[in-house]
Chain A
């Protein structure tokens, strides 16, 4: 018995060391120092971890860092990543979309537990709707995930965001001489605070058998969405020209989310089955313009999907995976204000998705992979003269990866075939507009380690990808434009990364137990041709006016650094800073270049030249967290005519969060009950700012959190 336990401990120890080292290797940007104990094992397992190094490492947020930061939605969390711009319409229920490296939010593929969240209707995913409650990792990849064994869809976006929900982990409990694995986990959490927020959630995890685990999670969000905002303008002499303070109206939201997941493991593979349900009703607060201080529009959503993944190793050379998904998304938009156009639109979009992928290991250093995906989307709506579009998408990818000592190479090609049919045509007018579309697009990734003994990497990638206009781009009857071309993006990136660990053997670090330094830099050049630009059509944020803006050139640079300081007695301080410089220029019409409103050479809408973020996290054991986060977005313009009338002020917010965990005795010996209490204070400088003009953002706000883990 004792023998087994020792063995088990050693195995556990090894597993976690490797996992920790792997994590340290992988998350170059937001580096998580799990605990001091692991620090000393890193050197020993480096060699093992090196195998798994990503060709293009993602920006990661997970673990302690994620726990410490004050975030409610995924959109709040990803703003700390470099190269990312958030379009935020404000408040708890306001829409939040993400734009990576100025290519536009449509180019970001969002994957939830491995399968993409589709939106054939308008192509963007509202990240404000995705809660952080059940997530354990957010990873953002430029280009694509550095993995060849994946569905063809994973190759299909210019940037990809992977949201990974918490996988059940069951603690080993030692009770006197007995040891067992605790069969369940329960977490009860309550958040409450500004905007009338009440946000309870419940998590239950069960170890059904050794190899099958179940996770159930439910969350409810209620908020009045009311907050004060302040506008003012001054005269040249500094006196106030006008100012006003008002309360944001019609920003209330009620949302319910439930998820169930089965996780299965076997000798040769694993499977995952998941069901997701989300339902919400909200007000659309709308633009604050002269003489309009509130709006009456409402929106209801219901999103449900089931998805499954099965991955298996057929032989030691051949692996296969299959993915399948059905999703059903309902949207109702109501404008009850009869002084405006009365609108009560309902849409139901459905998606069926199936994918099969295989990888073959030709030599230990050389893999090839093939994947084929089929997807069917159809959209129904009650709009007048609605055409009920249906889209078949077929994606086939072939990829190869070479990994030899200091060199890693990956190359992939993706063939996309899209065919639309319109199931109802009131007039012959739309008949002609059903689109078909076919393209082959390549991507190539490279990573080298010039000095084998140093954690220094040099990398580069090139990727070309199209995005098809969405249903709303193409087939909405009252707006939208015909003759829309697919958007084409090309990305070139060259970057480098360095990390180093100073251990206590090094006397220069004084009383510190260790310092970990990491830095990375990237320079990139992106081109977007036939860029489709969405201009919000007034008060309804889900309807847009579409246009092909033409041609945009983006030159950018990103720098990120991480410092982890390990103090004695398990105190840790982690500093993360990232800075992004972007020059995203409208290169459409060389004639249109006068200084009073010309667009040629102007920075495109909503892209700041400078933006940066800083986070500082102080941690004691896994008990006390104190975090400070600063997010700065420089001045922007609302159109590529960079004139004063289109200028938008820079904004920056400072957030502070503090949490402490008490370990309470449990009636079962050896088990622990954790009670965590936290407070978050956001926008502590009470800055009155706007991300999108006329959509005022909240000033100082705070909330409290209580979490009980059984």
Chain B
């Protein structure tokens, strides 16, 4: 018996160590805590960061131009009890009627907040892309194809109509393939169909939806793989961007006269654009040869804006223009935090702020 006892004590001695270590280890893992802060946002710029797909890192930053302060990732701070935060891949953000709408693509929802980014509600729209507003309704484009049994199944997209008071979807309307940008001129909705899932057979049409009965009335052919649309009320004109096919067909910006439905290519092909009065701001080009500037819409002449630190920007991404300032983001390598640059309209650098991952969309709180 003695040897058994001794054996046990020896065994115990050697097994004791790992047990002790395990206990010490349990102290290494702390519960994850949401940072809470009392923040109020006076006026400034909300930035929606896309975040890489699958990372659940869509986030909202707020930039206060008066104090030159950027508040990062404000959504969980303001809404600590929302499960899994804002969501995966932010695709658009806009303010309408005292509410802010964030379109979250992979999470398949439009998040509706007040102007302090406090959550009010959300509306599920799978694979949602962009948002615009008219007459008390929000319109959201979506890539989500209808469910139907069909051997030649093709994934047409749709536009959902949300009542901005009840915050419910009241109607939907099917459009072309993979609709991206959409704008309204007050009587119609114009939707840029990309056909991005159909490559190399891209869509090349603009869907026109009548707001009175919310039906697609016609398609206007423009060019392949349409993306962003800007509405110019002064000229009753749309500026529609075709992304080309990435191989042979280049990107081209088109002008569509809504009265005559005449389509004309414009002299510069902006990647992102922002209309302010008579000037269409944007940047063009690829790689290191990109250029910031604006197109004077009365003379159609392009004026370059040399940015003070242009070579520092790795991946110019989102653009926003105010009366005095030019905001441009750098998405860098898409997996590390981006940068917000604030310039004056002649390209002088005023501020540089680190944002979330892929700062991609802006809206202004006035």
Contacts and interface: CB of A to CB of B under 8 A. Distances in A.
Contacts of A291: 84, 87, 104, 107-109, 122, 124
B55 A638 contact: yes
Nearest to B37: A236
Interface string B80-94: 111111111000000
Contact of A429 (B34, B83, B247): B247
A340 B197 CA distance: 9
Interface string B1-39: 001001100110011011001100110111111111000
Interface in B97-148: 104, 106-109, 122, 124, 126-127, 143-147
B164 interface: no
B32 A649 contact: yes
Given A290-B88, A630-B18, A341 B197 contact: yes
A374 interface: no
A235 B86 contact: no
Given A235-B34, A289-B107, A511 B54 contact: no
Contacts of A292: 88, 106-108
A236 B36 contact: yes
A152 interface: no
B241 to A, nearest CB: 20
A643 B155 contact: no
A287 B54 contact: yes
B55 A339 contact: no
Given A338-B144, A616-B14, A650 B33 contact: no
Contact of A232 (B25, B31, B122): B31
B153 A565 contact: no
B72 interface: yes
Nearest to B72: A596
Instruction: Name, among A233, A341, A634, the residue most crowded by chain B CB atoms within 10 Å (CB to CB).
Output: A233
B57 interface: yes
A538 interface: yes
Contacts of A597: 336-339, 354-355
Contacts of A286: 54
Contacts of B144: 338-340
A69 interface: no
B225 interface: no
B300 interface: no
A338 B37 CA distance: 41
A290 B86 contact: yes
B55 A693 contact: yes
Contacts of A535: 52, 334-335
Instruction: Name, among B87, B104, B106, B336, the residue most crowded by chain A CB atoms within 10 Å (CB to CB).
Output: B336
Nearest to B2: A511
B200 A384 contact: yes
A417 B109 CA distance: 50
A536 B54 contact: yes
A618 B11 contact: yes
B64 to A, nearest CB: 16
A571 B7 contact: yes
Interface in B278-330: 312
B333 interface: yes
A231 interface: yes
Interface in B52-69: 52-57, 59
Nearest to A343: B197
Contact of A290 (B87, B146, B355): B87
Contacts of B36: 235-236
Question: Which secondary structure characterizes the binding site on chain A?
Answer: loop
Nearest to B6: A511
Contacts of B14: 563, 565, 573, 575, 616
B336 A641 contact: yes
A693 B53 CA distance: 12
Place the interface of chain A in its size category.
Answer: 35 or more
A502 interface: no
B125 to A, nearest CB: 10
Contacts of B244: none
Given A426-B200, A597-B336, A645-B73, A290 B56 contact: yes
Contact of B337 (A429, A538, A596, A685): A596
A68 to B, nearest CB: 14
Interface in A498-518: 510-512
Contacts of B57: 645
Interface string A411-450: 0000000000000001101000000000000000000000
A429 B7 CA distance: 74
B336 A640 contact: yes
A384 B199 contact: yes
A225 B55 CA distance: 22
Interface in A573-593: 573, 575, 591-592
A642 B248 CA distance: 40
A632 B147 CA distance: 46
B144 to A, nearest CB: 4
Contact of A565 (B10, B122, B248, B339): B10
Interface string A164-200: 0000000000000000000000000000000000000
B145 A339 contact: yes
A568 B10 CA distance: 11
B107 A290 contact: yes
Contacts of B312: 591
Given A244-B83, A291-B108, A511-B10, A693 B335 contact: no
A451 interface: no
B29 A650 contact: yes
B347 interface: no
Interface in A641-655: 641, 643, 645, 649-652, 654
A632 B27 CA distance: 13
A122 interface: no
Contact of B106 (A289, A545, A605): A289
A161 interface: no
A639 B336 contact: yes
Contact of B33 (A236, A632, A634): A236
A693 B248 CA distance: 39
A569 B52 CA distance: 59
A377 to B, nearest CB: 25
Contact of B34 (A233, A539, A640): A233
Contact of B21 (A234, A235, A511, A614): A614
Interface string A608-620: 0000001010100
B347 to A, nearest CB: 20
A157 B146 CA distance: 48
A567 B10 contact: yes
A290 B127 contact: no
B176 interface: no
A568 B3 contact: yes
Nearest to A547: B333
B356 interface: yes
A241 B81 contact: yes
B279 to A, nearest CB: 32
Contacts of B127: 339-340
Contacts of A429: 247-248
Q: Top 9 nearest A-B pairs by Cβ distance?
A: A597-B337, A538-B53, A290-B87, A596-B354, A339-B144, A289-B88, A339-B126, A290-B84, A287-B54
Given A342-B153, A384-B200, 12 more contacts: A242-B80, A242-B81, A290-B104, A338-B153, A339-B143, A385-B199, A533-B335, A537-B53, A547-B335, A639-B357, A645-B337, A685-B22
20 contacts: A287-B56, A289-B56, A289-B107, A338-B146, A340-B144, A341-B155, A384-B199, A384-B200, A385-B199, A426-B200, A537-B54, A549-B333, A565-B14, A567-B7, A568-B7, A597-B338, A628-B18, A641-B336, A643-B337, A649-B30
